[in-house]
Every structure is written in C-alpha cells, then in structure tokens.
C-alpha cells in the first residue's frame, strides 16, 4: 500500500478499510511510514473522525503491534480501572486494594503525571523503596500474594501507541477522540484484564472540559471494549474542583492511607466505593463483600500493605515532606463556592509536584493541602490552602496560577457538577 493513498482517503472524509488501517499502524511502527506522513493522517482523523468499525480496527492493530498479557493462571477474576486524569485523583491507590479485598484480582497498569494532571506512579514512588517497573512474572507474583498490583506498562505493550502518542503530543492532534479512545483501550485490552471500568473526568482540571465531549469519549471507549469482548463500563465524574483535599505526590499517598484506614474526604471515599462496586459487578462478583465494608474492617488496608511490600516499598516508612510551606488565608467570611481544579493543578505543578516533560523529575513532597472544599463555610483569615515546596522561590509562580481560582460568597450559591454525572454501559 501507499501512505499517500491512505492519507487522501481520510482527508477526503472516506472510511479507511481494515487492510489500510492494519498496514498503516504496522508500517508506522516499523518506520516505513514517515513521521510527517503519520502526522498528516492523524490530522485527517482529527478533522474527519472515524466510525465505530474504524476505531475498533485501529485499536486492534495497535494491540497486535506488541505483546498481550495473560492472567489465566490466577484463581480469581480480573478487573481494572482507568481514569482520564485530573487534580487530586488518587483513587487508584485505595481502589485497587479495596477491590482485591472483595475477591477480584486487579492488574493495574498506570502512568506518570504530565503538566497539571498527577500520575499514579509518581505518587507511589514517594514511598521509600517502592518499584514501578515489574516483569510480567513479577506482576503475577504480586497478584497471587496481594490480589492487586499497580505498576508501569512494559515497553512491549502496544508499542504503536507509544510512538503515536508522542507524535500527537507535538502535532496538535491530542484532542482527536478516536485516537484518545484507541490509545487508552489498546493498552487496557493488551493488559489482559477480564473487565474494565472507565472514570472519565469532566471539568476545568480534566482533559474533557464539557459533559458532551466526555460522554462522546466514554461511549467510544465502551464501544471499543464491547467490540473486543471486554466487559466495559464508564462513569462520568466531576473534575471542576480538586478531588479530596490533597494535591501532589506524598500528600496524596497520605490521604489514600486515611481512606484505607476508614477515614478520608467524603468525595474520595464515595468515588472509591462506587468504582469498586462497578468493577466487581463487571467481574461478576457483585454478590459478595461490599467495598464499604472492606474499608471499615481493615481488609483493604491489609491488601495495601502486602501490595506495597511486595513491590519493595515500606508501608510504615515516613513519607517525604517539603522543606517550605506558604499559607493562603480566606480574604473574606462566607461560603467557598468555587475552587478551580485547573488553577490548583497548575499551582501544584509549579511547586514541583508535576513535570513539563516526561524526562523531568518531580518533588515528592511538593503539593497543596485544601483546608476548605466548595460548600464549606470559611472565616476571614482562616487557612484556605497550604502550599508545599522544596524551594521557596517556587511560591510566586504558584500563587499567580491561584489568582481568581476561588470564590467566597455570603449567599453560598454553588455552581458545580455532581460528583458522579452519568454512567455509560
């Protein structure tokens, strides 16, 4: 085949044939299609879209570019969760142990943060000794021992996606819903899980800013999963304000441990329990132990400790603490009616909790503690946010991103999304 013919077909609004898709993905992975040619094809896909059959085939071609994991040696059903990312989204940390404590195995492949959105692996690496990189054999061992594993995807998993993702990042084609959906689902299907629950974030701190766009992405991904025989459900959840009170790495681990100990912020607990119930139902295990009970009776905490230890971490170790803090106080008395997730996320990034490039290091102790959430009454002068950084010079730029990021109003009228907006199945 010829790359120009494939580009023209999509440029002119046509449907790519299965043969064209298979060839294009394979040829690009092998270096036969040049970067500028795949850039043109990606832009044509962004502008003209793909139908369900095209997206399913594109995803399958990316899966076939690498290895596929197999958990058939386990004596229990597997189920997994994927979040599209946000600010303070530490849900994976308590969720995987909760679901494992209720009888499922959770082979969770996670990523690192970039920009204002945090990464699960960055959070966990703040635990002394914890390892993100595991071989498939090591993953299987942790699953047998603890019931859950959270680690980085190996280089052999959907290599076509890794190459295309980097290209999209520098060619203005990141926003293409078919390419987003196939990128996420190719890795999750190759991961070999038996069921999948998607947490599609909506709001200023999320990739999808509107409910309509988030619903389109969720429906596309659920369709891909269904077409590949993977039981898939999606929840649309709010990301117009930070999730929980902690935003960063070590501070989010500490908050996750609070949840596992039966406490923690109400929104984190509610979303953890709801996603856990969806994961168990998708795995056919909804008639057993309830996730809320696993948090109350300590069994989820037991799984957490085994999982962290099995990956080289010390669950009792002191977490990193930033050298410097800066407190923002409430400028007036009233009700906190808005706390913008994007503003808080950018501030945490500038404090050192995130990275601008994949190669950049992160500060494990950097981040933000939100002392008030939208709907809380505040008094002038009381702490509103505490900023943590290793270098005090970072505070100035972090404060700039928080200008206009919160409102305090006497009337207390809230204008925010419900925590759980919709369910797509």
Nearest to 158 by CA among 62, 72, 271: 62
Nearest to 232 by CA among 15, 54, 56, 418: 56
Nearest to 89 by CA among 342, 268, 300: 268
Contact 368, 394 (CB under 8 A): no
In angstroms, the CA 228 to CA 56 distance is 8
Query: Exposure of 98 by Cβ count < 10 A (0-12 exposed, 13-18 middle, 19+ buried)?
Result: buried
The count of other CB atoms within 10 Å of the CB of residue 33 is 22
The count of other CB atoms within 10 Å of the CB of residue 361 is 8
Torsion, CA 258, CA 261, CA 264, CA 269, rounded to 10? 130
Torsion, CA 32, CA 35, CA 39, CA 42, rounded to 10? 40
In angstroms, the CA 71 to CA 63 distance is 17
Kindly state the DSSP code that residue 171 receives in the 8-state scheme. Answer: T
Catalytic residues: 82, 161, 168, 183, 187
CA dist 159 → 135, 136, 164, 323, 347 (Å):
16, 16, 9, 39, 33
Over the range 189-204, which residues count as b (16 or more CB within 10 Å of their CB) and which as e?
bbbbbbbbbbbbbbbb
In angstroms, the CA 18 to CA 20 distance is 5
Angle between helix 159-169 and helix 52-64 axes, rounded to 10 deg: 120
């Amino acid at each position: 085949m010829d790359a120009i013919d494939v580009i023209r077909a999509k440029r002119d609004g046509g449907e790519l044939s299965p043969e064209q898709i298979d060839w294009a993905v394979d040829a690009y992975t092998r270096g036969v299609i040049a970067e500028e040619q795949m850039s043109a094809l990606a832009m044509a896909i962004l502008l003209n879209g793909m139908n369900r059959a095209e997206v399913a085939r594109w995803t399958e071609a990316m899966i076939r570019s690498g290895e596929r994991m197999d958990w058939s040696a386990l004596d229990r059903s597997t189920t997994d969760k994927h979040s599209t990312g946000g600010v303070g989204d530490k849900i994976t940390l308590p969720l995987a142990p909760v679901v494992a404590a209720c009888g499922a195995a959770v082979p969770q492949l996670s990523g690192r943060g970039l920009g204002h959105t945090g990464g699960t692996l960055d959070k966990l690496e703040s635990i002394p000794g914890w390892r993100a990189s595991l071989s498939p054999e090591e993953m299987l061992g942790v699953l047998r021992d603890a019931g859950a594993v959270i680690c980085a995807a190996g280089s052999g998993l959907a290599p076509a996606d890794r190459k295309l993702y980097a290209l999209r990042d520098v060619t203005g084609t990141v926003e293409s819903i078919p390419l987003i959906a196939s990128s996420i689902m190719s890795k999750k299907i190759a991961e070999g899980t038996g069921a999948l629950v998607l947490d599609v974030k909506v709001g200023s701190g999320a990739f999808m800013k509107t409910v309509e766009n988030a619903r389109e992405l969720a429906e596309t991904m659920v369709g891909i999963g269904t077409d590949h025989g993977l039981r898939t459900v999606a929840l649309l959840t709010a990301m117009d304000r930070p999730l929980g009170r902690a935003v960063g790495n070590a501070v989010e681990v500490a908050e996750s441990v609070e949840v596992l100990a039966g406490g923690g912020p109400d929104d984190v607990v509610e979303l953890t329990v709801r996603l856990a119930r969806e994961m168990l139902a998708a795995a056919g295990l909804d008639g057993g132990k309830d996730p809320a009970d696993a948090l109350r009776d300590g069994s989820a905490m037991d799984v957490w400790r085994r999982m962290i230890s099995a990956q080289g971490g010390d669950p009792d170790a002191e977490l990193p603490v930033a050298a410097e803090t800066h407190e923002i106080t409430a400028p007036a008395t009233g009700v906190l009616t808005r706390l913008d997730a994007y503003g808080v996320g950018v501030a945490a990034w500038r404090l050192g909790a995130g990275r601008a490039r994949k190669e950049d290091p992160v500060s494990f102790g950097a981040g933000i503690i939100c002392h008030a959430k939208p709907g809380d009454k505040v008094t002038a002068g009381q702490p509103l946010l505490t900023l943590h950084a290793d270098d005090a010079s970072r505070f100035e730029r972090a404060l700039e991103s928080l200008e206009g990021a919160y409102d305090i109003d006497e009337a207390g009228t809230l204008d925010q999304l419900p925590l759980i907006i919709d369910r797509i199945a």
